[in-house]
Structure 1
Amino acid sequence: MDTESNTKPMAPPRRRKRLRIVCLAVIALLLVLILVMVILGLTVFKGKRPVTTVNSVALNDLQVSLDILRLRVNLNVTLDVNLSVKNPNKVGFKYTNSTAVLKYGGQVIGEAPIPASKISAGQTNTMNLTLTLLADRLLSNGNVYSDVISGTLPLSTFTKISGKIKILRIIKIHVVSYTSCDLSINVLNRSVANQTCQYKTEL
């Protein structure tokens, strides 16, 4: 005589069921947090380009002496550059040590350090830089004499500021800001003229 067993599957223990519920709740919470962080990162905390602006370039000192026999010129120029960096982001912008350079005909003839710093959210840092022409770097350039004789000395300044923005302490965005200005020194009036600047920022 065959007997059928009507055994039913045993229900899982309550502890295992609670553990499963807790795990699912934790996973769901993590997914929600990740989703919220992504939404905030793409909207409120979306990385924006810091704005570097040259507010003014002023001639601090100009000393010129001509050596007509040798067709050479002894030249000393000091420029005061007022530079500002605005951080439009909702988080701080931290940049590393950099350098501002003074150029003549594409040749670097002077430098000024830009120390590392941090700009708080929505704030602007203003820097006063002094660029001094290193006369020995112009000794081999024959165009200086003719430019000084003409009364106009063309120069240019260039700055590069590199840094990063941390969003929610997780996402890092690297930023590089470039500023270049072309200007002319009026030797007779001892003033800066025809200043034009270009700005570029890369994320």
Structure 2
Amino acid sequence: MVIPAIKLNVSLGIVVTVNNRNYGGFEYQNSTAYVTYRGDVVAEAPIQADTIPARQKHNISTTVIVLADKLITNPKFLDDFKWGLGTLNFTSATTLHGKAIILKVFKKKAISDCTCDTSLFLGNVSSHSYCKSTVKF
């Protein structure tokens, strides 16, 4: 018996608002954000090169490609899902390579890492996220 391989991808347009409280801007290169579920990559989002101005909020638009087949074939998915009443835990990770811009004159190579743990509570259709970001020079 041959079982066909099923691919199910869903694209979601999103806008992420970054609040840069620093006195320096950040100019970054193209990158990709990854979302994992129990160690499996279940979504990817390309991030186009841009500049985040100092002491401002900046919107980043992208499309998240959800690899739904990877999510639902995870052995723990049904246990976590519990037929619509459970909790799904995801981790997103983004690394941006670029330059910190100080006083609009000085540029120093920098890497910004951001990791977010997000829980989706299916019973009451809500979510909670905790994010941690670091910058290395």
User: What TM-score results when the alignment is normalised by the length of structure 2?
Assistant: 0.72
Residue of structure 2 in register with 1:84 after alignment: 18
Pairing of 1:184-203 with structure 2 (within 5 A): 184-192=119-127, 194-203=128-137
C-alpha spacing 1:164/1:199, structure 2 compared with 1 (3 Å): same
* Cα deviation digits, residues 25-75 of structure 1 (max 9, x gap): xxxxxxxxxxxxxxxxxxxxxxxxxxxxxxxxxxxxxxxxxxxxxxxxx9x
* Cα deviation digits, residues 74-112 of structure 1 (max 9, x gap): 9x796956230527345x532100112211012211011
User: What TM-score results when the alignment is normalised by the length of structure 1?
Assistant: 0.51
Q: Which is richer in helix?
A: 1
Residue of structure 2 in register with 1:69 after alignment: none
How high is the sequence identity, in percent, across the aligned residues?
Answer: 33
State the distance in 1 between where 2:80 and 2:50 align. 38
Q: Which runs of 5+ in 1 are unaligned?
A: 1-73
Match of 1:148 among 81, 86, 93: 81
Q: Which is richer in strand?
A: 2
Shift of 1:161: 1.4
Contact persistence 1:179–1:198 (CA under 8 A): yes
Shift of 1:158: 1.4
Shift of 1:175: 0.8
Pairing of 1:159-170 with structure 2 (within 5 A): 159-165=94-100
Residue of structure 1 in register with 2:4 after alignment: none
Figure out how many residues of one structure are paired with residues of the other and give that number: 127
- 3-state SS of 1:142 partner: coil
Point out the structure with max Rg over C-alpha. 1
After superposition, the CA RMSD in angstroms is: 3.2
State the distance in 2 between where 1:80 and 1:169 align. 29
